[in-house]
Amino acid sequence: MTKKMRFAAACGAALLVFALFFSVFFVVAEADHDCIGEHCTICHQIHICQKLLEQLSAAHTALAGGAVLGFSMLLLVLRTWNVFAASSPVLWKVKLLN
Ligand SMILES: [Zn+2]
């Protein structure tokens, strides 16, 4: 990973964390606002923030599930290739006839 890509990934992660915290802060701060009814802009913004939080949590869950599934498949493949088995003369089928 080059330095430029690492910086871009760090910026993306920082923006994601900022959006997450700002959404939580906005929802908490405006929870008891003076609502004007059906066309309230604050309620609309709160709804958008809640949708963002739901999508981020769903994406996080899917990412974690994919990581666990990938790691399990990697362990399964390595186990079938006998990577974890200790090497010994018996496994190498060496005859010790000295
Ligand atoms: Zn409202």
Tell me the CA–centroid distance for residue 19 and ligand 1, in Å. 21
What type of residue is 54? E
> What distance in angstroms lies between residue 58's CA and the mean position of ligand 1's atoms?
26
Q: How many CB atoms lie within 10 A of CB 69?
A: 10
**Centre of ligand 1 from the C-alpha of residue 42, in Å:** 5
Structure confidence at residue 44 (pLDDT): 94
For the chain, helix, strand, coil in percent to 5 are 70, 0, 30
Could you tell me which of 18, 42, 39, 17 has the C-alpha nearest to residue 29? 42
Q: Ligand 1 mean position to 25 CA, how many Å? A: 16
Q: What is the pLDDT of residue 40?
A: 94
pTM of the model: 0.57
* Per-position pLDDT tens, the chain of length 98: 688 888 998 998 899 888 888 989 999 999 889 999 889 999 999 999 999 889 888 887 888 888 888 988 888 888 777 766 677 888 788 887 87
Query: How many Å lie between the centroid of ligand 1 and the Cα of residue 27?
Result: 11
Q: What pLDDT is recorded for position 13? A: 87
Cα-based torsion angle of the residue sequence 4, 9, 13, 14 in order, rounded to the nearest 10 degrees: 0
User: In the structure encoding, which two tokens stand for residue 58, read together?
Assistant: 């769903």
